[in-house]
Amino acid sequence: MNQKANEFLFHPKNVMLFILLFGLVFLFLALTISYVYIRVTNGVPPVKVPALFVVNTLILLGSSWTMIQAKRCYLADDTQGYKQSLLTTIYLSVFFTVMQAVAWYWLFQNSVYLHSSTTIGFLYVISFVHLAHVLAGLPFLFRFYRAAKKHMVDPVTVLVYFSDDEKRLGLRLLTIYWHFLDALWIYLVLFFAVNQLIN
């Protein structure tokens, strides 16, 4: 492992991110295991996953792809591509939030309320906690986009911006965080779908 990789691995921000992700893994594992335990011990029927949850998966996959594009554009000094990719990620994240609210509204319309059963309560809590972490990432996306729009105005400022190690590190960490949220959502949708098949 070279010195640059070591510096990234043990950078305080990187360590903090991985502590956060480690904690989130255990939080969602605890929630999903509790869901299974309650289902088995109480003989409660599985929760039917709204079809919009699958649509939301595609939206998140799209936001992960645009984050990859943002990183590629950053490394290639593609100013317009970088700003456009960040903006598209923001739009997709907001769209995901709206569609998640629509999915909850669909549940309400079908008389599936938070208090309907313990397992349905888990569906709401798990999806809400995930959404909360998507919303927590949005200010960082806005900050990157605003900084790029403000500082990338001529060849000199673009060069300074793209050569900033802190910005490169921040973008890398934000990309890891976004991919993690995407993978976590896929796991949750698959988890509920598999439980739906097991009566």
Record the pTM. Answer: 0.88
Structure token digits, residue 7: 């510096």
CATH code for position 109: 1.20.120.80
Q: Which amino acid is at 148?
A: A
H helix intervals, 43-164: 51-75, 79-109, 118-151, 155-162
Crossing angle of helices 12-42/118-151, nearest 10°? Answer: 160
Q: What is the domain count for the chain?
A: 1
Range of the domain at 151: 3-197
Query: Cα 22 to chain center, whole Å?
Result: 15
CB-based contacts of 88, cutoff 8 Å, min separation 6:
66
**pLDDT string in tens for the chain (199-residue length):** 455 555 555 678 888 998 999 999 999 999 999 999 988 888 878 788 888 999 999 999 999 999 999 989 988 888 899 999 999 999 999 999 999 999 999 988 887 777 777 788 888 999 999 999 999 999 999 999 998 888 887 778 888 887 888 888 888 899 999 999 999 999 999 999 888 877 6
